[in-house]
């Protein structure tokens, strides 16, 4: 038997020959299963139906984190029950996305309890409280770890509660609803989240209106629109160097420092929120980081979920995205799978997918007596030190 110490030393060198194809995780493993760079929880049950989750690692350190929480949404016994999904797509490092995975839901439950119920305001307060906590951590570690000021994360949250769907987004992750159009007997994709990426003209217009005196607020750099020429997203958690002037100076690396001081945050942490009633025609939700949407359209993803079995459907979406990534580079999927993390980032991003099925007879339930469900999306092998 290979010792645990030896396993830790050699694991980063192993290449996954097949990612997930021989796995058959039918939901018995609460924490999911790891196959090389692929983590997946093929099936499970939440308050309002079934779910499936999958994560593929491309970066040397996984920057995507995610969670699914189902059951009580507050600490009050009489409080609401439902399902909470969080997709946290980090950039500059994993610290902000990991922080969200550890703190956002707890803040959400705290504000739900204080409010004695769910509301859009509860979600906004949870985003902003988590942002403040992360910025406090940046300040605390400023001298010993100034690079933490350049770390941030997109944050996409969905909550199903008492027949209502709440979607909150800061960044460019996306959630898509699969809705049955009875007249044509097809399931159509409906994008629910508003994305905050400088590649979108309306986002650039918003930035220019918020910063009318700054002609360099958005810059086209190497054919890509970036805020201050540095970052594509206009809203995030973290990115302290573009939120507070005190973090945009030495000892932060020169490439992150702006030439002119700023007096109000350049990026925002406030999410855009949508609240809508769920109907029997609403079949499922696909939550994913932008790594999926770089490869698949919303309708392509919905078609896959509609046409294949529920079990392992998130893994199926990840596999479809990898096939597309390989095709774009004129290489075989089997060869792409042999490429290890780090180098893999040149071919595709980290990808996180959560598929939430909405069983109409369960969607309106506000209480249930099943066990509390908590699943955190993890990912491939740790980086070597």
Predicted local confidence at residue 371, as pLDDT: 64
Residue at 43 is within a domain:
yes
Residue at 203 is within a domain:
no
Q: How far apart are CA 108 and CA 196, in angstroms?
A: 22
Predicted local confidence at residue 31, as pLDDT: 75
From first to last of the 385 residues of the chain, give the pLDDT tens digit. 333 332 333 233 333 323 333 333 333 456 789 888 999 999 999 988 999 999 999 999 999 999 999 999 998 888 899 999 999 999 999 999 999 999 999 999 999 999 999 999 999 999 999 999 999 999 999 999 999 999 999 999 999 999 999 999 999 999 999 999 989 889 999 999 999 999 999 999 999 999 999 999 999 989 999 999 999 999 999 999 999 999 999 999 999 999 999 999 999 999 999 999 999 999 999 999 999 999 999 999 999 999 999 999 999 999 999 999 999 999 999 999 999 999 999 999 999 999 999 987 777 665 666 667 899 997 644 433 2
Predicted local confidence at residue 370, as pLDDT: 62
Domain CATH code at residue 314: 3.60.40.10
Residue at 281 is within a domain:
yes
- Give the torsion sign (CA, 373, 290, 348, 145): negative
- Residue 34 tokens read as 């790891």
Q: How far is CA 227 from CA 202, 249, 255, in A?
A: 13, 18, 14
Residues 325/295, Cβ–Cβ less than 8 Å: yes
Q: How far is CA 77 from CA 4, 108, 170, 243, 249, in A?
A: 43, 16, 31, 38, 48
Predicted local confidence at residue 32, as pLDDT: 86
Residues 91/151, Cβ–Cβ less than 8 Å: yes
Residues 233/197, Cβ–Cβ less than 8 Å: yes
Name the burial class of residue 6, with classes exposed (0-12), middle (13-18) and buried (19+) by CB atoms within 10 angstroms of its CB.
exposed
The model's pTM is 0.90
Predicted local confidence at residue 364, as pLDDT: 65
Predicted local confidence at residue 27, as pLDDT: 36
Cα 307 from chain centroid (whole Å):
24
Residues 43/51, Cβ–Cβ less than 8 Å: yes
Q: How far apart are CA 45 and CA 243, in angstroms?
A: 39
Predicted local confidence at residue 197, as pLDDT: 97
The domain of 130 spans: 33-197+233-377
Predicted local confidence at residue 372, as pLDDT: 79
- Residue 65 tokens read as 């984190």
Residue at 205 is within a domain:
no
Residue at 1 is within a domain:
no
Predicted local confidence at residue 28, as pLDDT: 42
Q: How far apart are CA 87 and CA 158, in angstroms?
A: 9
Q: Do you know the residue count of the chain?
A: 385
Predicted local confidence at residue 23, as pLDDT: 39
Q: Which residue, among 159, 186, 179, 157, has the nearest Cα to 284 in the 3D structure?
A: 179
Residue at 206 is within a domain:
no
Residue at 225 is within a domain:
no
Looking at the DSSP bridge assignments, the partners of residue 124 are: none
Residue at 204 is within a domain:
no
Domain count, the chain: 1
């Amino acid at each position: 038997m290979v010792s645990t110490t030896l396993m830790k030393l050699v694991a980063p060198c192993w290449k996954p020959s097949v990612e997930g194809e021989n796995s058959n995780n039918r939901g018995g493993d609460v924490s999911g299963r790891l196959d090389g760079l692929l983590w997946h929880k093929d099936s499970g049950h939440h308050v309002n139906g079934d779910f499936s989750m999958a994560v593929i690692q491309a970066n040397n350190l996984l920057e995507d984190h995610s969670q699914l929480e189902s059951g009580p949404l507050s600490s009050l016994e009489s409080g609401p029950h439902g399902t909470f999904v969080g997709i946290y797509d980090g950039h500059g490092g994993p610290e902000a996305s990991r922080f969200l995975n550890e703190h956002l839901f707890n803040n959400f439950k705290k504000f739900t309890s204080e409010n004695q119920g769910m509301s859009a305001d509860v979600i906004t307060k949870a985003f902003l409280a988590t942002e403040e906590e992360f910025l406090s951590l940046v300040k605390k570690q400023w001298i010993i770890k100034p690079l933490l000021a350049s770390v941030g994360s997109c944050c996409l949250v969905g909550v199903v509660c008492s027949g209502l769907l709440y979607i909150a987004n800061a960044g460019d992750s996306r959630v898509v609803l699969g809705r049955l159009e009875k007249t044509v007997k097809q399931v159509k994709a409906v994008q629910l989240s508003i994305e905050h990426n400088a590649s979108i003209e309306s986002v650039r217009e918003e930035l220019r209106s918020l910063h009318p005196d700054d002609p360099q607020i958005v810059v086209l750099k190497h054919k890509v629109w970036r805020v201050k020429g540095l970052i594509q997203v206009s809203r995030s958690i973290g990115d302290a160097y573009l939120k507070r002037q005190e973090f945009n100076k030495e000892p932060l690396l020169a490439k992150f420092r702006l030439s002119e001081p700023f007096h109000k945050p350049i990026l925002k942490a406030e999410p855009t929120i949508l609240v809508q009633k769920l109907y029997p025609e609403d079949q499922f939700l696909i939550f994913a980081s932008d790594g999926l949407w770089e490869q698949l359209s919303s309708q392509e993803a919905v078609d896959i979920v509609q046409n294949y079995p529920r079990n392992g459907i998130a893994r199926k979406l990840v596999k479809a995205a990898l096939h597309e990534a390989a095709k774009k580079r004129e290489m075989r999927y089997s060869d792409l799978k042999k490429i290890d993390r780090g180098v893999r980032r040149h071919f595709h991003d980290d990808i996180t997918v959560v598929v939430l099925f909405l069983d109409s007879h369960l969607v309106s339930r506000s209480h249930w007596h099943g066990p509390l469900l908590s699943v955190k999306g993890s990912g491939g092998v740790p980086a070597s030190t």
